[in-house]
Amino acid sequence: MTDAEGRKQHIQNLLQKAERLHQNLDGSFSDRLVSSIYKEATAIARSSVIESGNRRAGWDVYFDRIATHPVTGFPLMFLILAAIFWITIEGANYPSQLIARGLFWFEGWAAGLFFQLGAPPWLTGFLWHGVWRGLAWVVSVMLPPMAIFFPLFTILEDFGYLPRVAFNMDALFRRVGAHGKQALTMAMGFGCNAAGVISTRIIDSPRERLIAIITNNFVPCNGRWPTLIMMATIFIAAPFPAGVGSLVAAASLMAVTLFGVFMTLVVSFGLSKTLLKGTPSVFTLELPPYRKPRILQTLYTSLIDRTIFVLWRAIIMAAPAGAVIWILGNTHIGGLPLSNHIANALDPLGRLIGLDGVVLLAYIIAIPANEIVIPTIIMAYSQASMMIELDSLEALRHLLVDQHGWTIVTAISLMLFSLLHNPCSTTILTIWKETRSAKWTAVATFLPLTIAFIVNFLFVQIVLFFM
Amino acid sequence: MAGCQCAQATTCSSHGNLIRLGVNIRDFDYLIALAGNPNTGKTTLFNALSGLRQHTGNWPGKTVVRSEGAFRHNGYKYKVVDLPGTYSLLSTSEDEEIARDFILFGNPDCVVVVVDATALERNLNLVLQVLEITDRVVVALNLMDEAERKGMFVDARKLAKELGVPVVPMVAREGKGTDHLLQTVQDLVTGNLRTQPRRIELDPHIEEAVQQLLPHLKNLYPNLSNHRWLAMRLLEGDPSIRRAILTDSLAQTESPLAPQKEEDMSELEAALEV
């Protein structure tokens, strides 16, 4: 017998012996081991900890009573969320306009310079009215809200509020057959769905983890906030006076977010009754102590790591998207630009769900990054029509409403579609890496898309019925 | 326990020995793993040591992949790995598996178990399990400030005596105790400090079964240090350990249980950095 064979034999013996002993212990091994460990841990802790007993009930105890109370817990949650939205909208308005004005001024100046230098018009158009304009929109529309929203959210997280949210939502998630920790992974999705999908690793049961992965898409991420915030600001808040307007805009964002949470619960329920049957597993959720947020560090990390990172991603995605749009708009077939052909082909489908062909085209171009949906729409529109100066939200409203017939129904349809449609390609890739299953990746991609079409279609039908 | 053993006086100032090296982790002298229950401050400590800015959050489970960084202290270069927080090493969720595999097969020169001083009993469950796997353990007794606020006094000396490994009181958020911790780690990895880790007193039935398996395991894997732990996993019927033994991949690779997936994730995390 060779050494290798001997070793193999030895391994077989070992495993057989282990199996026999395992059988003899008759399933009680874990329990016995765990109880030995607990016994010792208790003994050691008792001998080395002295509790002086004068533990004062601090404000945190009282705050927790409110934050996790069955009656006050939810309203407090809504209040905090609404406050964050309101501060974001109110605070971002002015800086956005300032940045937009600056960047669009530069567009005009640079285009003029190119003209004077005798550069060919296609180059000026491609570079400044195509690529630069896309970038300018991304920066001016996305930077200020993100620079406000992310730090606020991170401070809340640092403070320790998220586990309380999970605690409050636990009962809801359990009732729909999902895992209570899904509230946490959902909260991560508010930042980035790909990160949200990775964070589902805290869920042990594969069934519940899949539910959390598939439904993570229903909370709006970085890339979709700007679209939602913009629609809320220029359409829903527009008829109201300035002060009330931002409240209304915040309320509409709230409504969209809550609808996303509602859809998360509905779809989780549907999945746990059909494809992913089972009963929710029990877990213990630790409520950590509230900790004083480290404000400066939070500002730094959320500005550098999140805001700039997301903005950079948007910029490197928007530049090629701007180029694609410009090429589609300037390649003529049969007298019409290519982009018109595509948009026209998509138009009937778009109308069915309250949008149009250009918006659908923008969504296809924006699959790599949802950040660029609005800039793509603007680029496509402003190419089709005469070149206009888009240096304010008012001008944008003019472009969308007066020239392309957008209404509040279009705005709400866009918000709904933005909330529900398929995840971006980074998230899809992450889902594939986490599940290693083509089937579940496909489900996670096409289920939300289907739901988006159905919900939007129903919304349009209801509006048509009443109007 | 550790103290400053001033062989070279120049390396013994209490501050300024730490040089953060970020992700520059090539050619390290020693490998340190940070383990501990969720939300005890592992990532805070990791950031303080490496100078990296892994996102921390005040909720259990923020870190689900292991992240790696490096620092230099007293002339030694260390690679430090931040493991996902776990309550135990016995269950099977993916984040716990990552932590367990690394401690078992990553051959860390030292495992720093970060412990929440305000919830010592629960945290000790994990410490005791880690002590079953490896002798090279330093306990970082973190959140001492919160314990004090709660009116608790944790006797680090007593705890060290009970556990048989050094215990360093810390407030990682404020950087308190970091120097002491690093000095202790250095003493441990350089062999200046010997530990005598406490082993769990097993129920007699289990102990007997473990004794029956031990000779086989020692014979098959003379280089591994945690035969008792392996025996216990086999008695538990852990399928991943059975598989690793059956395919004879235990003593060879770094992490025979879940090799490729983890790699993918750290890459993706690096790409996302959110």
**pLDDT given for residue A27 in this prediction:** 66
Q: Model confidence over A194-241: pLDDT tens digits? A: 888 988 888 878 899 999 999 999 999 878 887 888 888 888 888 888
Q: Is the dihedral of CA B85, B86, B89, B92 positive or negative?
A: negative
pLDDT above 90 as % of chain B: 31
**pLDDT given for residue A156 in this prediction:** 84
Residue A239 to residues A165, A244, A245: CA-CA distances in angstroms? 34, 10, 8
| Nearest chain B CA: its distance from A426 CA (Å) | 9
Hey, of B39, B59, B266, which one would you mutate to test binding to chain A, going by the most A CBs within 10 A of its CB? Answer: B59
Nearest residue of chain B to residue A155 (CA atoms) = B57
Judged on CB neighbours under 10 Å (0-12, 13-18, 19+), A312 is exposed
**pLDDT given for residue A402 in this prediction:** 85
For residue B121, give the nearest of A41, A306, A426 by CB distance.
Answer: A41
Judged against a pLDDT cut of 80, whether residue A449 lies above it is answered with yes
How many structural domains comprise chain A?
Answer: 1
Q: What CA–CA distance (Å, rounded) separates A340 from A346?
A: 10
A 166-185 near B (Cβ less than 8 A): 166, 181, 184
Query: Which structure tokens are listed for A459?
Result: 């919304």
Query: Does the structural domain B9-189 have CATH classification 2.60.120.200?
Result: no
Lowest mean pLDDT among A361-365, A450-454, B6-10: B6-10
Q: In what order do the strands lie in the sheet with B30-36?
A: B18-22, B67-73, B76-82, B30-36, B110-116, B137-142, B167-169
| Nearest chain A CA: its distance from B154 CA (Å) | 4
Half-sphere exposure of A425 (CA within 13 A, CB side): 9
Q: Do residue B236 and residue A17 have CB atoms under 8 angstroms apart?
A: no
Query: Residues of A with CB below 8 A from B237's CB?
Result: 19, 22, 29
Judged against a pLDDT cut of 70, whether residue A426 lies above it is answered with yes
Q: What CA–CA distance (Å, rounded) separates B237 from B220?
A: 19
Domain with CATH 3.40.50.300 in chain B: 9-189
| Nearest chain A CA: its distance from B146 CA (Å) | 9
A67 close to A161: Cβ distance less than 8 angstroms? yes
Q: What CA–CA distance (Å, rounded) separates A162 from A160?
A: 6
Q: What CA–CA distance (Å, rounded) separates A95 from A98?
A: 5
- Which long-range contacts link A152-156 to residues 24+ away (Cβ below 8 Å)? A152/A84, A152/A87, A152/A88, A153/A84, A153/A190, A153/A191, A153/A302, A154/A298, A154/A301, A154/A302, A154/A306, A155/A293, A155/A295, A155/A298, A156/A80, A156/A84
Q: What ipTM did this prediction achieve?
A: 0.79
A321 close to A134: Cβ distance less than 8 angstroms? yes
Sorting pLDDT into bands at 50, 70 and 90, what band is A90?
confident
Cα-based angle A417, A420, A424 (whole degrees, multiple of 5): 95
**pLDDT given for residue A441 in this prediction:** 95
**pLDDT given for residue A54 in this prediction:** 59
Query: Residues of A with CB below 8 A from B234's CB?
Result: 14-15, 18, 22
Judged against a pLDDT cut of 50, whether residue A337 lies above it is answered with yes
**pLDDT given for residue A375 in this prediction:** 76
Cα-based angle A224, A230, A233 (whole degrees, multiple of 5): 140
Q: Model confidence over B206-255: pLDDT tens digits? A: 888 899 999 988 888 887 777 888 888 888 887 777 887 877 766 554 44
For residue A49, give the nearest of B94, B120, B205 by CB distance.
Answer: B120
Q: Identify the CA nearest to B61 among candidates B34, B91, B90, B83.
A: B83
| Nearest chain B CA: its distance from A309 CA (Å) | 8
Query: Residues of A with CB below 8 A from B149's CB?
Result: 58
Query: Residues of A with CB below 8 A from B203's CB?
Result: 32-33, 35-36
Q: Model confidence over A6-42: pLDDT tens digits? A: 888 888 888 888 888 888 877 677 778 888 888 889 8
SS3 B139: strand
A49 domain residue, yes or no: no
Encoded amino acid at A175, one letter: R
Q: Does A23 touch chain B (CB under 8 A)?
A: no
Q: Is the dihedral of CA B63, B69, B73, B77 positive or negative?
A: positive
Lowest mean pLDDT among A45-49, A308-312, A431-435, B44-48: A308-312
**pLDDT given for residue B272 in this prediction:** 40
Q: What are the two backbone dihedrals, phi and then psi, of residue A59, each rounded to the nearest 5 degrees?
A: -60, -30
Q: What CA–CA distance (Å, rounded) separates B113 from B176?
A: 16
Q: Do residue B152 and residue A52 have CB atoms under 8 angstroms apart?
A: yes
Q: Is B8 left (phi over 0), alpha (psi -120 to 50) or beta?
A: beta
Judged against a pLDDT cut of 70, whether residue A125 lies above it is answered with yes
Count of beta carbons in the 10 Å neighbourhood of residue B20: 16
Sorting pLDDT into bands at 50, 70 and 90, what band is A53?
low
Nearest residue of chain A to residue B158 (CA atoms) = A48
Query: Which structure tokens are listed for A186?
Result: 């959902």
**pLDDT given for residue B202 in this prediction:** 83
**Residues spanned by the domain of A324:** 71-275+308-466
| Cα dihedral: A460, A461, A464, A465 (round 10) | -150
pLDDT above 90 as % of chain A: 25
Q: Does B243 touch chain A (CB under 8 A)?
A: no
Sorting pLDDT into bands at 50, 70 and 90, what band is B114?
very high
pLDDT above 70 as % of chain B: 78
Q: Model confidence over A388-422: pLDDT tens digits? A: 455 566 777 888 888 888 999 999 999 999 999 99
Q: Does A336 touch chain B (CB under 8 A)?
A: no
Sorting pLDDT into bands at 50, 70 and 90, what band is B60?
low
Lowest mean pLDDT among A189-193, A285-289, B100-104, B135-139: A285-289
Q: Do residue B152 and residue A51 have CB atoms under 8 angstroms apart?
A: yes
pLDDT, mean of residues A103-129: 87
For residue A33, give the nearest of B121, B216, B232 by CB distance.
Answer: B232
Judged against a pLDDT cut of 60, whether residue A440 lies above it is answered with yes
Q: Does A109 touch chain B (CB under 8 A)?
A: no
Q: What CA–CA distance (Å, rounded) separates B115 from B170?
A: 10
Return mean pLDDT, chain B. Answer: 79
Sorting pLDDT into bands at 50, 70 and 90, what band is A75?
very high
**pLDDT given for residue B58 in this prediction:** 57
Q: Do residue B128 and residue A40 have CB atoms under 8 angstroms apart?
A: yes
- Sequence-distant (≥ 6) Cβ neighbours of residue B26 within 8 angstroms: none
Judged against a pLDDT cut of 80, whether residue A58 lies above it is answered with no
Q: Model confidence over B154-182: pLDDT tens digits? A: 999 999 999 999 999 999 988 899 999 99
Q: What are the two backbone dihedrals, phi and then psi, of residue B127, each rounded to the nearest 5 degrees?
A: -55, -45
For residue A25, give the nearest of B153, B235, B264 by CB distance.
Answer: B235
Q: Does A289 touch chain B (CB under 8 A)?
A: yes
Hey, of A199, A286, A303, which one would you mutate to test binding to chain B, going by the most B CBs within 10 A of its CB? Answer: A286
Q: Does B213 touch chain A (CB under 8 A)?
A: yes
Q: Does A305 touch chain B (CB under 8 A)?
A: yes
Q: Do residue B90 and residue A203 have CB atoms under 8 angstroms apart?
A: no
Judged against a pLDDT cut of 90, whether residue B142 lies above it is answered with yes
Hey, of B37, B39, B46, B58, which one would you mutate to test binding to chain A, going by the most A CBs within 10 A of its CB? Answer: B58
Return mean pLDDT, chain A. Answer: 84
Q: What is the DSSP letter of A424?
A: P
Nearest residue of chain B to residue A40 (CA atoms) = B200
pTM: 0.72
Query: Residues of B with CB below 8 A from A166's CB?
Result: 59
